[in-house]
């Protein structure tokens, strides 16, 4: 009972501050403190009239789509490789794919900045996309790892024995089974990229991403337009996350249904 109360307090600690931010996004006065004077949508109107905000929103969407597609392609290949790799190579590969998220984003940011500068690559949304992929790919691989471990390799072998080419096997057997997991991983990557700012500050060019723009707003002032921008950003990234969660649930339902059928 005590433990249960504690768990509720813990959740309150996690969500309380976010609730406060959301509440004041709807405040009719510019004050970010109580007493609460009434509801208004004016901060949302203000932020949606800000062309820079809209441009940043667009840039972030482009980057997040590009990064999650790139992550999806590389990550799917990597996931297929996991059960096939020789033991030693697997250990090296696991270390390589996990290392980027075992370090603070700061390290990735400065290292990439040094590389791009060395190669004479101008900073643009491309460099941001590469940086984000470096950050989302390890998450993608870790998410699909356990699903791939339980993948029934005999299904692929059966397809091959029945005369399917490797590409056919992948398209007709492997992909349909792994699809929900891969989709979930990609939506997770989208959410992570959409929110990323620590690495971004080093590799961003003239075009802002949304979190980077919010960071610059935070440096300038404190007023409820930041709250409105935050609520919008958070809402979009949570929406993609919930969609990803739905895919995971779908996959689990299907797996359970199949198991029930077999029994």
Partner 1 sequence: MRWSFPSFDRRQRSGLALAAPTAVFLVIFFVVPAAVLLVYSFWISRSFQITPTLTLSNYLRALGNAGMWLSMWNGVWIGAWTAVFSVALSFPVAWYIAYRTRSNAILYAVLLSWFSSYLVRIYAWRTILGTSGLINSTLMQLGMIDQPLSFLIFSRTAVIVTLVHLFVPFTLLLLLSALRNVRTDYLEAARDLGASWRQSFLRVVVPMAYKGIVGSFMFTFILAAGDFISPQLLGGREGVTTGLLISNQFRQTGNWSFGAALAFILLGVFLFAYFLVAQSMRLGRLSPGLRFHPTLPTQEKA
d(CA 213, CA 58): 12
Q: Kindly state the smallest distance separating residue 26's Cβ from partner 1, in Å.
A: 14
- Judge contact between 252 and 177, C-beta under 8 A: no
Q: Which is nearer to partner 1, 89 or 262 (CB)?
A: 89
- Judged by phi (left if over 0) then psi (alpha if -120 to 50, else beta), residue 120 lies in left
Please, which residue, 75 or 185, has the CB nearer to partner 1?
75
Compute the least distance from the CB of residue 242 to partner 1, in Å. Answer: 8
Least distance from partner 1 to the Cβ atom of residue 72, Å: 12
Instruction: Between 182 and 214, name the residue whose CB sits nearer to partner 1.
Output: 214
Please return the burial class of 221, using the count of CB atoms within 10 Å of its CB with bins 0-12, 13-18 and 19+. Answer: exposed
Shortest distance in whole angstroms from residue 96 CB to partner 1? 5
- Please, which residue, 54 or 153, has the CB nearer to partner 1? 153
Mark out the alpha helices in 27-86 (DSSP H runs). Answer: 42-48, 51-81
Is the link from the previous residue into 35 a cis peptide, with omega within 30 of 0? yes
DSSP state of 30: S
> Closest approach of Cβ 158 to partner 1, in Å?
15
Q: Which is nearer to partner 1, 1 or 260 (CB)?
A: 1
């Amino acid at each position: 009972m005590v433990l249960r109360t504690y768990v509720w307090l813990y959740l309150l600690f996690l969500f309380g501050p976010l609730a406060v931010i959301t509440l004041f996004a709807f405040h009719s006065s510019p004050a970010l403190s109580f007493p609460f004077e009434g509801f208004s949508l004016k901060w949302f109107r203000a932020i949606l009239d800000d062309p820079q905000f809209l441009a940043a929103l667009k840039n972030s969407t482009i980057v997040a789509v590009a990064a999650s597609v790139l992550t999806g392609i590389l990550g799917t290949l990597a996931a297929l490789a996991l059960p096939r790799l020789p033991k030693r190579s697997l250990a090296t590969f696991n270390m390589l794919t996990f290392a980027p998220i075992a370090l603070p984003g700061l390290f990735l940011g400065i290292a990439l900045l040094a590389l791009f500068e060395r190669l004479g690559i101008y900073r643009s949304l491309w460099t941001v996309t590469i940086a984000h992929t470096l950050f989302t790919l390890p998450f993608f691989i870790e998410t699909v790892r356990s699903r791939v471990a339980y993948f029934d390799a005999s299904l692929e072998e059966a397809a091959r024995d029945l005369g399917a080419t490797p590409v056919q096997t992948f398209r007709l057997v492997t992909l349909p089974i792994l699809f929900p997991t891969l989709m979930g991983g990609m939506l997770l990557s989208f959410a992570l990229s959409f929110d990323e700012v620590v690495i971004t500050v080093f590799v961003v060019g003239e075009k802002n991403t949304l979190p980077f723009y919010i960071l610059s707003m935070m440096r300038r002032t404190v007023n409820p337009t930041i709250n409105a921008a935050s609520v919008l950003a958070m809402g979009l990234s949570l929406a993609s996350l919930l969609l990803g969660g739905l895919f995971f649930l779908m996959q689990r339902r299907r797996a359970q249904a199949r198991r029930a059928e077999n029994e």
